[in-house]
Amino acid sequence: MRKNRIIYYLLCAAALAFASFYGGPVSYTILFGLVLVMPVSFAYLLTVYSFFKIYQSASGKHITAYDPVPYYFILQNEYLLNFCHIRPNMYSTFSYIENMYEGRDYELLPHENARYDTKLICRYRGEYKVGIKSITITDFLKLFSLTYHVPEPISVVVAPRIIALKSLRTDNDPTRNSYKENTKIRQFPDAIVRDYIPGDPIKSIHHKLSAKTGELKSRLYYGEERQGIAIYLDTHRISDDEYIYIPVENKCLEIVLAIANYYSMQSTASTLKYYRSGGDLSVRKPNHRPDGLFQVKCSSRHDMEGFHAQVSEVPFRSDTDGQNAISLIATDRDFGTCLVAFLVITGTGKELNETLNELSKSGTSCVIYYVSYEPDVSGIISLQNQIIVPVHPEDDLTRVM
């Protein structure tokens, strides 16, 4: 179009020079004819803008990421003129249309319509607009254009997908099994008391009975068996720009769902915990759970549907104090007694390192998934019983995890 416009302006300049030097009806007719092209083109664009209609629809408002849903649009000419060079512009950042060439121009005869049936695919979890965003209308000589913005674009609510993992590459990592027992939870003595055996912990000596009998006696402890896995999700929104935070939040939820789904297939329970803004980090409820620390459980694969629905609604907020919230899990019972703790984070800091250190002391093996456009793991403390996995928002989890 720019090339056509330059040619048009050059022709106008040439016609003006020709009329100035030679005059006569022919030269002025050419000049006025070229000059009239501009208002006629604008009048044509305004006519198309006024009488052009578009209809579009997607199957359902609530869909799942990467789940194709039926979608169609109709371009309608409701006037007596031929409409040429009608080009749809799509919302293409968060979604795309199957087999749709966005640069295609449509031509509509009087009272004619063009219908296109296809599939709509959304990439990320969230609520955003999809389908046709605007229509570019170009005049018949491709000199000028006008943009028609769709007055009622389609808005959808997208849930994150569940990625089925055949295995976790962290399963065979020796650091995960480096600590077998949790010394902090071995607090309750059994009723059995026996003679002291060299090598027994000093703190297991029954001092009162030893003093009474004159012989060293040891109390037996039952260690609490680790069960299930625990997942912590950082719900701090990293930016106010939806083009930045939507892919990151979507990937975080995909990781959570992939982990829970993987362990549900092994009949291992999962507990997700995340902080929701509005609570006071210094206040604790009567059940000793920190105020604002919410949890979602998945006991088996039959619970995955409900777990998926609840995880899809997890809110991310910029006012969520994620760095302080993560310190809550250091003393959380589920993280102290789990087989392995998974931390899905979007940032690092002192509180994270302090929490990892406390979990390590309690014998909890940790896997940290750091989701970021430039994940720099150098700020995360390196401990024996933990694994750090950097994840880009566009990474394929079947390869990363």
- The first and second tokens of residue 146, run together, are 């006008």
Q: Does 60 share its domain with 195? A: no
Instruction: Say if 3 falls within a structural domain.
Output: no
- Read off the CATH number of the domain in which 322 is found: 3.40.50.410
Q: Does 210 share its domain with 103? A: no
Q: Specify the residue for token string 């359902």.
A: 60
Q: Does 62 share its domain with 195? A: no
Instruction: Say if 25 falls within a structural domain.
Output: no
Q: Does 217 share its domain with 233? A: no
CA distance 29 to 366: 83
3-state secondary structure 304-355: HHHHHHHHHCCCCECCCCHHHHHHHHHHCHHHHCCCEEEEEECCCCHHHHHH
How far is CA 368 from its chain centroid?
17
Tens-level pLDDT at each residue, the chain (401 residues): 788 778 878 888 888 887 888 877 888 888 888 888 888 888 989 988 888 889 999 988 899 999 999 999 999 988 888 888 889 999 988 999 988 877 788 888 998 888 999 999 999 999 999 999 999 999 888 888 889 888 889 999 999 999 999 888 776 554 444 444 433 334 444 446 777 766 566 767 878 778 888 888 877 554 455 678 999 999 988 898 999 999 999 999 999 999 999 999 988 999 999 987 654 444 444 333 445 788 999 988 889 999 999 999 999 887 655 556 888 888 888 888 888 999 999 988 888 999 998 888 888 889 999 999 998 888 888 888 889 999 999 999 999 98
Cβ neighbors of 198 (< 8 A, separation 6 or more) are none
Residue 41 and residue 144 in contact, taking contact as beta carbons nearer than 8 Å = yes
Q: Does 244 share its domain with 381? A: yes
Q: What is the pLDDT of residue 190?
A: 47
Within 216-319, where are the H helices? 242-264, 304-312
Q: Does 210 share its domain with 282? A: no
Q: Does 314 share its domain with 358? A: yes
Range of the domain at 214: 190-221
Q: Does 282 share its domain with 365? A: yes
Q: Does 364 share its domain with 247? A: yes
Sort 373 into a burial class: Cβ within 10 Å, 0-12 / 13-18 / 19+.
exposed
Instruction: Say if 213 falls within a structural domain.
Output: yes
Which DSSP helix (H) or strand (E) runs through 387? strand 386-391
Counted domains in the chain? 3
Q: What is the pLDDT of residue 367?
A: 93
CA distance 95 to 99: 13
Cβ neighbors of 170 (< 8 A, separation 6 or more) are 176, 340, 367, 387, 389, 401
Instruction: Say if 185 falls within a structural domain.
Output: no
Q: What is the pLDDT of residue 277?
A: 64
- The first and second tokens of residue 363, run together, are 């014998």
Q: Does 77 share its domain with 108? A: yes
- Read off the CATH number of the domain in which 148 is found: 2.60.40.10
The b-or-e profile of 12-42 (16+ CB within 10 A means b, else e) is beebeebbeeeeeeebeebbeebeebeeebe
Sort 103 into a burial class: Cβ within 10 Å, 0-12 / 13-18 / 19+.
exposed
The b-or-e profile of 319-349 (16+ CB within 10 A means b, else e) is ebbbbebbbbbbebebbbbbbbbbbbbbebe
Q: What φ, ψ does residue 148 adopt, rounded to 5°? A: -105, 110
Q: What is the pLDDT of residue 161?
A: 95
Instruction: Say if 11 falls within a structural domain.
Output: no
Q: Specify the residue for token string 């389908």.
A: 131
Q: Does 350 share its domain with 280? A: yes
Q: Does 291 share its domain with 379? A: yes
Instruction: Say if 152 falls within a structural domain.
Output: yes
Q: What is the pLDDT of residue 318?
A: 76
Residue 326 and residue 232 in contact, taking contact as beta carbons nearer than 8 Å = yes
Q: What is the pLDDT of residue 185?
A: 39
DSSP structure class, residue 379: G
Residue 162 and residue 304 in contact, taking contact as beta carbons nearer than 8 Å = yes
What are the start-end ranges of the E strands in 173-241? 189-195, 217-221, 229-233
